[in-house]
Amino acid sequence: MVLQTDPASPQLIFSSFIVTFPPQQILVADRQVRAVEGSPQSVIVVVEFESTEAAQRWYDSPENTAVKGLRTSTTEGWLAIADGFVMPEG
């Protein structure tokens, strides 16, 4: 998940969003991403779930729903649910 926050309220948005996850699920959370290739947004959050279904349950949860409007009305970016990575053999 990558978010570009409104300069007027980045801490509020980040704090409101990040608390919807149990701490052990957050793999990366950084508000000052350093670009080395391309043009990424300034904020990145990577969260691990046990399954794509669990990720969807989080997205539909009351906790996320409560802060979703703040996030979507004051940020530009994207949120995606993806399957885990399996290293190809060979």
pLDDT, tens only, 59-69: 999 988 988 88
Q: Which single residue is written with the structure tokens 């969003």? A: 17
pLDDT 10s digits, 3-34: 444 455 556 666 777 778 776 788 888 878 88
What span, in angstroms and rounded, lies between the C-alpha atoms of 37 and 28? 18
Instruction: Write out the two tokens for 70.
Output: 């703040």
